[in-house]
Structure 1
Amino acid sequence: MREDLSLLRERRFASLFAARTLSMLGLAFAPVALAFGVLDLPGADAGTLSLVVAAEAVPHVLGLLLGGVVADRYPRRLVMFTGECLSLVAWLGIGTMLLVGWAPIPLVCAFAVLTGLAGAVVWPVLSGIIPEVAPRDRLQPANALLAVGANAARVGGLIAAGAVVVAIGPGWALIAAAAIYACAAGFAWRIGTTPRPGREGGTSVLAELREGWVEFSSREWLWVVVAQFALLVLAWQGAHTVLGPVVAKAELGGAGAWSAILTGEAVGMLVGVLVAMRIRPRRPILVGVLLTSATSLPYLLLGLGAPLPVIVLGGFVMGLGMDAFTVLWQTTMQREVPPEALSRVASYDAFGSMVFGPVGVLLAGPAAVHLGAHTALLVCAGLIIASALLALLSREVRTLRAPEVATPVPEGSFAAPVDPAAP
């Protein structure tokens, strides 16, 4: 553990850690504040919230592939800085409108588009920048440390956001998120740049996308799990951003209850990455896919009308499973994919995983009206479980092995040099 924590003494990794942690702290304010800020607007309902969330989700998904090209082409520090600045402007705009009492839905949606573009920029760059600031043999602890910071921030942010929304309203929560994004942008700038091999002049965006597609499509384990997540995220987006808040507002006490569920999830994520720092499964993708089935638990419990403490526990289990999966997934991609194509492959990963997310958001509102929110949540939980079972049909998902971990050399003895390019 001391060796893992020593990464934080490296200036560039420490700057990335601070930027990522602050970014997640700001983001933790947003879902609670945005959901209940929109639902409190005159005449707003589940359909209104679906529209605003979709305005964020659609440009996020559509911009991911271009974001991957940008992150592989330009200094990743600069790309990350730009994304944090976009989030700063977006949440400051929405928060200000809520505070002054003038928040027309088209303008709220316009700022939500900016948050989606920010995510499309930042998501691909994160996968590519980690190998630039951490040694190859320490990628898993580096991913885990970043996740620990992000989830600790998520826990604190959700608790604080719930308190701020209840006490003084969602507008101030979004203003606070904007201020935190400003700090995140400052640390992102401090990461610095790593020289990368230049490309031949005249390489087009389409050519670079094709190169990324070849790397992505040639790995069955990768595209099968991405296909799994296309179904999982469709269900998760509808349940998490619309159906869950609707049930929480109607039956569980509102923003405080939903914040408690999200906090349980965030605590589970924190525990999940602590577990992931220590485990070294021989078949990381198999273990990861099994863990993703836990994502269904809180929505299953919400659909069944379970008591709030039980749902919070379900959120904890979901968070543990998903973030342990995330660390294993990111580490495997960083080991298996060439660094010069990593952000583009990550963008195909994110695009494929999230492509149906806006559909889930748009369907959630009508589903809550016509089926009832409880029935719709049960459908979402069933789809999440089915997606994991389908992914396990792939042989590569079940059998892909992690590299052998080198046996420590006793003090005073010598080890043969290891070729860093060797698999």
Structure 2
Amino acid sequence: MPPSLRHRPGLAAVVRARPAWAGRNYLLLTGATVITSLGSSGALIATAFAVLAAGGTATEVGLVAAARTVPLLLFLLIGGAVADRLPRHRVMVAANTLNCVSQGLFALLVLTGEPRLWQMALLAALGGTGQAFFAPASEGMVLAGVSGEHSGRAFAVYRMGMNGANIGGAALGGALVAAVGPGWVLAIDSAAFALAAALRAFLDVSGVPRRAAGGGMLHDLREGWREVVSRSWLWAVILQFSLVNAMVAAAEAVYGPVIAARYLGGPGPWGLALAAFGAGTAGGALLMTRLRPRRLLLTGALCVFPLALPSAALAVPLPTAGLAVIMFGTGVAIEVFAVTWMVALHQEIPEDKFSRVSSYDWLGSLAVVPAATALAGPVQDLIGTRAALWGCSALIVLLTAAVLCVPGVRRLTRRTEPEPTAGSADSPAAGAPEPQASGTP
């Protein structure tokens, strides 16, 4: 034990309790993510109520939400290329700073006057732009300092903290919007981004080799694309989730509230079902701190089948209690997939191309969602709500069965690595490797 801790038993106990794989960088990244998840979950609620308080309609609430999504889709690939070209922690800090400024201005508008729709849409677009650069950089770094042997457990703990913060942030944000108004909740979100940027600025990237200088942006994007299409398991799962996520979004955003209003008693039971899903994701992350499946993608793919159950349960429809149980189980299953998927990516994708591959994964996951939610209403009018829900469920099952036909999905196995020695490049004491200058779930 270091001499500085010998006379501080409380601090020494905390240090001993920390797992050996949880290095300084991992703790900083996880803490920053928990902070921003708490703020952002409440800010989503605050944004909607800020639009309504300014006299906006439900359509205008949707327009502001779309204003955030469009630049996210447009800039994801560029964000991935930038994160593979520049030090990732600097990209993350810059993105957090942009989100801090945009949310701070949004809060100022709400607190001091009557914000106009175009102003709120512009600030939401800035927030989406920041997320487009942040997401690929973050996924390229969160497990960079964790050995392959512990990567599943580390990512599960990371997801558990993030999911718990999302649940708590939504509950706290809703209460604060009711108590003090949406402007102050947006201000809290701005402060959360500022604190997260400060934490990420302290990431240790010393002693890491520089990336070799590459070509231009188009060259970098082509390299990332080649990484995706050269692996059948990778592009198959990305294609699968481009449609699976669209079906889930249509069911949750459009059909679920309709069924809840008609048969379950309104928004209260539907909110309970969504809360059960959130609790399930926390439970799934906890489960994955213990499990280390050998066949990563086979395990993950089998856990996608339960995503068809909520749509089927709504189509019946099941009572609220039954729906909540299914939503909880679905949350557990999708979290198992999320952890196995991320472990597979970090195991198989070269580090210097990881953020670009991640950006293609994010783009595939989100690209069809706006169209699916926009078309959900017309499809419902054409064939009926229950038929549309059964269609969502059937498509998820068919897509997942098709992915299981890909040999790479069935055969990709976890590789084991020797335990890193203290002071080595992969040791927690050395900090997470982050190459210097020479982007799914």
TM superposition score category, shorter chain reference: 0.7 to 0.9
The answer to whether the 8 Å contact 2:21/2:146 transfers is no
Whole-angstrom CA distance in 2 between matches of 1:226 and 1:52: 27
Match of 1:389 among 397, 401, 421: 401
The answer to whether the 8 Å contact 1:155/1:263 transfers is yes
> Is 1:360 aligned to residue 372 of structure 2?
yes
Structure 2 residue runs without a partner (length 5+): 1-14, 420-441
C-alpha deviation, 1:329, in angstroms: 0.5
Match of 2:40 in 1: 27
The answer to whether the 8 Å contact 1:151/1:270 transfers is yes
**1:39-118 to 2 correspondences below 5 Å:** 42=55, 44-45=57-58, 47-98=59-110, 102-118=114-130
Match of 2:338 in 1: 326
Per-residue displacement from partner, 1:103-155 (whole Å, max 9, x unpaired)? 43333222221222122112111221134332343222221121121122122
C-alpha deviation, 1:71, in angstroms: 0.9
The answer to whether the 8 Å contact 2:297/2:341 transfers is yes
Match of 2:240 in 1: 228
Q: Give 2:187's aligned amino acid.
A: I
Per-residue displacement from partner, 1:210-238 (whole Å, max 9, x unpaired)? 22122221111111000001101222333
Q: Give 2:310's aligned amino acid.
A: P
SS in 1 for 2:140: helix
Q: Give 2:71's aligned amino acid.
A: P
Whole-angstrom CA distance in 2 between matches of 1:297 and 1:86: 39
> Is 1:340 aligned to residue 341 of structure 2?
no
SS in 2 for 1:282: coil
The answer to whether the 8 Å contact 2:26/2:143 transfers is no
Q: Give 2:43's aligned amino acid.
A: A
Match of 1:15 in 2: 28
Match of 1:267 in 2: 279
> Is 1:398 aligned to residue 410 of structure 2?
yes
Match of 2:132 among 120, 133, 141: 120
Q: Give 2:229's aligned amino acid.
A: S
TM-score by length of 1: 0.83
Match of 1:190 in 2: 202
Against the structure 1 CA distance between its residues 107 and 129, is the aligned structure 2 distance closer, same or farther, given a 3 Å change threshold?
A: same
Whole-angstrom CA distance in 2 between matches of 1:184 and 1:249: 39
> Is 1:134 aligned to residue 146 of structure 2?
yes
SS in 1 for 2:342: helix
Match of 2:434 in 1: none
Against the structure 1 CA distance between its residues 134 and 233, is the aligned structure 2 distance closer, same or farther, given a 3 Å change threshold?
A: same
Against the structure 1 CA distance between its residues 76 and 258, is the aligned structure 2 distance closer, same or farther, given a 3 Å change threshold?
A: farther
Against the structure 1 CA distance between its residues 67 and 227, is the aligned structure 2 distance closer, same or farther, given a 3 Å change threshold?
A: same
The answer to whether the 8 Å contact 2:75/2:133 transfers is yes
Whole-angstrom CA distance in 1 between matches of 2:392 and 2:17: 38
Whole-angstrom CA distance in 1 between matches of 2:250 and 2:201: 35
Match of 1:415 in 2: none
The answer to whether the 8 Å contact 2:224/2:356 transfers is yes
Match of 2:436 in 1: none
SS in 1 for 2:19: helix
SS in 2 for 1:316: helix
C-alpha deviation, 1:324, in angstroms: 1.4
Per-residue displacement from partner, 1:4-37 (whole Å, max 9, x unpaired)? 9415762222111111111222222234444455
Match of 2:19 in 1: 6
Match of 1:288 in 2: 300
Against the structure 1 CA distance between its residues 202 and 283, is the aligned structure 2 distance closer, same or farther, given a 3 Å change threshold?
A: closer
Q: Give 2:122's aligned amino acid.
A: A
Structure 1 residue runs without a partner (length 5+): 408-423
Per-residue displacement from partner, 1:256-308 (whole Å, max 9, x unpaired)? 65554433222111111111122122211111112123233334434545444
C-alpha deviation, 1:321, in angstroms: 1.4
The answer to whether the 8 Å contact 1:50/1:365 transfers is no
The answer to whether the 8 Å contact 2:255/2:385 transfers is yes
Whole-angstrom CA distance in 1 between matches of 2:245 and 2:283: 22
225-234 or 156-165, larger mean C-alpha shift: 156-165
SS in 1 for 2:142: helix
Whole-angstrom CA distance in 2 between matches of 1:380 and 1:56: 26
TM-score by length of 2: 0.80
C-alpha deviation, 1:390, in angstroms: 2.4
Whole-angstrom CA distance in 2 between matches of 1:9 and 1:60: 31
RMSD across aligned positions (CA): 3.2
Against the structure 1 CA distance between its residues 286 and 120, is the aligned structure 2 distance closer, same or farther, given a 3 Å change threshold?
A: same
SS in 2 for 1:129: coil
Per-residue displacement from partner, 1:356-377 (whole Å, max 9, x unpaired)? 1222233245556766666655
Whole-angstrom CA distance in 2 between matches of 1:73 and 1:4: 36
The answer to whether the 8 Å contact 2:21/2:150 transfers is no
Per-residue displacement from partner, 1:39-85 (whole Å, max 9, x unpaired)? 6764623x444433322222112211111111111111111112222
Whole-angstrom CA distance in 2 between matches of 1:189 and 1:150: 20
Against the structure 1 CA distance between its residues 235 and 98, is the aligned structure 2 distance closer, same or farther, given a 3 Å change threshold?
A: farther
Whole-angstrom CA distance in 2 between matches of 1:241 and 1:145: 28
The answer to whether the 8 Å contact 1:19/1:187 transfers is yes
Whole-angstrom CA distance in 2 between matches of 1:4 and 1:326: 26
Whole-angstrom CA distance in 1 between matches of 2:303 and 2:68: 28
Whole-angstrom CA distance in 2 between matches of 1:80 and 1:162: 27
